[in-house]
């Protein structure tokens, strides 16, 4: 039995939903496809598919085997591409997931430069603030801003700490006064990020250790650019990443406050399956992102 061929045929049947559709997709007869799957079932000693006249349904054993088979075929594909790429100019597709604001403000322009430098590599960038599993969702790489993951199933490549700052507009400070301690945030108008699990509970590390305060939330949003604009419009105090607030802090439209108190540290890091390390194009992209964003963050530099 051609185990690899039978494995590929079985996966195609599940993907297409029928023997006939799988046969058309791979250019074989329906009977050839059926024989390949039967041979695989006999070799494994389990039934992988329930067959009807119109469609096939995957058994529980078949579903578990399909997931493993899909991963094996993907790893094999990556290994083959890695060998080819080591002999020639890197090419192929890279599917990337990244946070919305960082993607539009910083990563997007960087990937435009990457695509210009490596025209044989096709880049697909999907922006979303939802945490995704790069393997389950079919991405080659995920860019995250958070505390690093501890999963052993994925490569975790840290790039740079991502600073955040508590800030407000000069007019807001003139009208309400500058907070002296985190406790003042319980009474002053605050703008908070609506997607944070802690909601309007802000945690900071100060001279005397960790501090937690339930802020006076007057406006929330799951997009930090909206919160930045609300802060510029004198609506309240906001805890913002400097990759968003940096230009406004530099030109004076926003002023940092409570500088002795810092929120928990976040990092910009890359997350990708171990098999992707074999790919020359992934290695190129990792190096490119590190060269662009590693070291001192350009958005934190004083102009």
DSSP code string of 25-73: HHT--HHHHHHHHHHHHHHHTS--EEE-SS-EEE-HHHHHHHHHHHHHH
Structural tokens at position 267: 């990092």
Looking up tokens 């860019």 gives: 143
Cα separation, 198 vs 251, in Å, equals 31
What pLDDT is recorded for position 303? 44
Domain boundaries for CATH 1.10.10.10 within the chain: 3-85
For 86, the token pair is 């080591």
Rg of the chain in Å (alpha carbons) = 26
- Residue 231 CA: distances (Å) to CA of 75, 237, 282: 47, 6, 39
d(CA 276, CA 139): 10
> Which pTM was predicted?
0.69
Please give the pLDDT value at position 226. Answer: 95
Q: Under DSSP, is residue 115 helix (H, G, I), strand (E, B) or coil?
A: helix
Q: Check: CB of residue 105 under 8 Å from CB of residue 268.
A: no
pLDDT of residue 101: 94
Segment 217-245 mean pLDDT: 93
CATH architecture of 90-160+266-300: 3-Layer(aba) Sandwich (3.40)
**Residue appearing with tokens 């007019």:** 171
Question: Averaged over 75-96, what is the pLDDT?
Answer: 71
Cα dist from 36 to 28, 47, 130, whole Å: 11, 13, 40
CA within 13 Å, CB half, 258? 26
For CATH 3.40.190.10, list the domain ranges present in the chain.
90-160+266-300, 164-256
**Which region among 56-65, 84-93, 131-140, 253-262 has the lowest average model confidence (pLDDT)?**
84-93
pLDDT at position 180 is 92
Least confident window among 87-91, 180-184, 205-209 = 87-91
Q: Which of the four CATH numbers 1.25.40.10, 1.10.10.10, 3.30.565.10, 3.10.580.10 does domain 3-85 have?
A: 1.10.10.10
Which superfamily does 164-256 belong to? Periplasmic binding protein-like II (3.40.190.10)
- Stretch 283-300: mean pLDDT, rounded? 90
Can you list the positions of beta strands (E) in the chain?
49-51, 56-58, 92-98, 121-127, 141-146, 155-162, 164-168, 189-193, 201-206, 209-214, 216-221, 237-241, 255-256, 266-272
User: For the chain, what is the mean pLDDT?
Assistant: 85
pLDDT in tens, 125-163: 999 888 777 777 788 889 999 876 655 567 778 899 999
For residue range 11-33, what is the model confidence (pLDDT) as tens digits? 888 888 888 888 888 888 888 88
Least trusted range by pLDDT, from 30-39, 122-131, 184-193: 30-39
Residue 219 Cα distances to 77, 131, 223, 237, 242, angstroms = 48, 23, 12, 10, 20
Q: Give the C-alpha distances (Å, rounded to integers) separating 265 from 30, 202, 203.
A: 57, 13, 11
| 146 touches 132 (CB < 8 A) | no
Q: Residue 53 — very low, low, confident or very high, per pLDDT cuts 50/70/90?
A: low
pLDDT over 80 at 273, yes or no: no
């Amino acid at each position: 039995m051609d185990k690899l061929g039978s494995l590929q045929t079985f996966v195609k049947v599940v993907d297409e939903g029928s023997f006939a559709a799988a046969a058309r997709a791979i250019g074989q007869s329906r009977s050839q496809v059926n024989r390949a799957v039967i041979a695989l079932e006999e070799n494994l000693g389990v039934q992988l598919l329930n067959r009807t006249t119109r469609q096939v349904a995957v058994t529980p054993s078949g579903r578990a085997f399909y997931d493993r088979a899909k991963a094996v075929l993907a790893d094999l594909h990556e290994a083959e591409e890695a060998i080819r790429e080591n002999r020639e100019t890197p090419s192929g597709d890279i599917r990337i997931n990244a946070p919305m604001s960082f993607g539009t403000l910083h990563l997007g322009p960087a990937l435009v430069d990457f695509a210009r430098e490596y025209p044989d590599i096709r880049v697909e960038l999907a922006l979303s603030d939802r945490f995704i599993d790069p393997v389950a969702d079919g991405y080659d790489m995920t860019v995250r801003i958070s505390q690093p993951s501890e999963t052993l199933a994925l490569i975790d490549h840290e790039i740079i700490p991502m600073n955040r700052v508590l800030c407000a507009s000069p007019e807001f400070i003139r009208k309400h006064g500058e907070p002296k301690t985190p406790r003042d945030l319980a009474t002053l108008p605050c703008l908070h990020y609506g997607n944070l699990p802690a909601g309007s509970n802000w945690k900071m590390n100060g001279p005397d250790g960790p501090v937690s305060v339930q802020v006076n939330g007057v406006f929330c949003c799951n997009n930090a650019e909206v919160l930045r604009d609300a802060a510029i419009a004198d609506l309240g105090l906001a805890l913002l990443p400097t990759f968003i607030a940096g230009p406004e802090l530099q030109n004076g439209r926003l002023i940092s406050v409570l500088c002795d108190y810092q929120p928990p540290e976040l990092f910009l890091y890359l997350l990708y399956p171990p098999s992707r390390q074999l790919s020359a194009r992934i290695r190129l992209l990792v190096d490119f992102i590190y060269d662009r964003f590693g070291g001192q963050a350009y958005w934190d530099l004083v102009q």
